[in-house]
Amino acid sequence: MALTTYEIRIVGPVSAGLLAQLGDVTAVELELRTVLTGRFIDQAALHGFLQRLRALGLDLVEVRSVASPEDDEPQGEESP
């Protein structure tokens, strides 16, 4: 199955402890928001992640799918 990359914007900064609980996502802190980027196998996995954010008390601002170089690679092949 193909993974889809999503950017998830939340209000404010995310502590290192909370970020560790979120799993395999990257975080970029902006002035008033944090952008989390992660790859999810399907909508159910994305919704599970969003529920985890809510359980941790993080306020969601925006979710959007984004193009990623890995998204364009055929499964089982590596780029040169």
Residue predicted with more confidence, 70 or 49: 49
What pTM was computed for the model?
0.81
pLDDT, position 79: 46
Domain layout of the chain by residue ranges:
1-37+56-69
Sheet of strand 60-66, all strands in order from the earlier edge strand to the far edge: 25-29, 33-40, 4-11, 60-66
In angstroms and rounded to an integer, the radius of gyration of the C-alpha atoms of the chain is 13
| Cα angle 26-3-73, degrees, rounded to a multiple of 5 | 100
pLDDT, position 69: 65
Mean pLDDT (the chain) is 88
The 10s digit of each residue's pLDDT in 8-41 is 999 999 999 999 999 899 999 998 999 999 999 9
Q: What is the mean pLDDT of residues 52-63?
A: 95
- Report the C-alpha gap between 41 and 45 in whole angstroms: 6
